[in-house]
Amino acid sequence: MATSFRTSPCRPKSPSHLPRPIFGLAAKFLSPIRFTNQRFQLLHSHRYHNKGLIHRLSSFRNGSNTPSETECPVPQDQQPINEYQSLSTSFPFSSAAGDIVEYTSRLFVTGASFALFIGLPVSWFGSVGAESEPLKRILCATSSGVFAVILAVVRMYLGWAYVGNRLLSATVEYEETGWYDGQIWMKTAEVLARDRLLGSYTVKPVLSRLKLTLVSLATLLFASVLILVNIDGNQNNSYLTSNEAGVGVIPGVYSDDSAKSFEPDAFCGEPDLQS
């Protein structure tokens, strides 16, 4: 006689034998469905985060200057990296970042042109007795050329300092459509590292060169002013010495004695000025 066995599905025993206060805690830890869902959500979020990070790093390595539009709301023309590129290719800011010989030659040509075509004609034809004082007029023209170069270098320094501050800053101030809707965007880690690297190794050397140029030009201008002051002081002393010696005519200076020597009839009947 064959014996048959009936198989019945196994049912998990109910944890009714556990005390009631710890029943909820045990069910929470023994539930396989809840653990599986939490694990799946954790893995999914971790995988999504890695995918976004790999995408940003690959775009940065491929030479992409800007992140995606969803991450960077700053307009293209207001992003620091684009402002740096436009500044480094525009005149006269590009000369400050170029070769030192080209940089100094452009500054020299600018100062010499201003002194020759503007400073010298104004100082020569705009004063009386310029033929008797050629050195003074040449120094005035030279000082005007140095002053013009100082203004050009200050303009370049302000432009490079503005771009350098925006590259090194962790935030970017921008305008969406106008001055009335200014916004501030916090840079991401990749953008901040790229901008600070660019600002430290390209913008800061340019600013150091411009600072040194300003100090040199200011020293040259101060020396020119001192020479002009000494020339005026020596001429005034010579005029006083000539008057004390009784010389009647002093070139370039009006006095009653010199006028009387040229037009004696105009002073008829007046007492002697020397008495």
pLDDT tens digits, 134-161: 888 889 999 999 999 999 999 999 999 9
Domain interval for residue 52: 32-61
CB within 8 A of 87, min separation 6: which ones?
93, 159, 160, 163
Which tens digits make up the pLDDT trace of 179-209?
778 899 999 999 999 999 999 999 999 999 9
Same domain, 57 and 121: no
Residue 125 covered by a domain:
yes
Residue 160 covered by a domain:
yes
pLDDT confidence band for 238 (50 / 70 / 90):
low
Residue 195 covered by a domain:
yes
High-pLDDT (> 90) share of the chain, %: 44
pLDDT confidence band for 125 (50 / 70 / 90):
confident
Same domain, 41 and 156: no
Residue 274 covered by a domain:
no
pLDDT exceeds cutoff 80 at 265: no
Same domain, 102 and 223: yes
Same domain, 152 and 193: yes
Residue 251 covered by a domain:
no
Same domain, 198 and 94: yes
Last residue of a domain, one of 205, 229, 253: 229
Provide the pLDDT for residue 142. Answer: 93
Which tens digits make up the pLDDT trace of 69-97?
447 889 999 999 999 999 999 988 999 99
Provide the pLDDT for residue 12. Answer: 45
Same domain, 99 and 47: no
At residue 53, what are phi and psi to the nearest 5 degrees? -65, -40
Residue 197 covered by a domain:
yes
pLDDT, average across residues 40-55: 42
What is the pTM (predicted TM-score) of this model?
A: 0.62
Same domain, 53 and 185: no
Last residue of a domain, one of 209, 229, 249: 229
Same domain, 44 and 119: no
pLDDT, average across residues 210-226: 95
Provide the pLDDT for residue 59. Answer: 44
User: How many structural domains comprise the chain?
Assistant: 2
Same domain, 110 and 201: yes
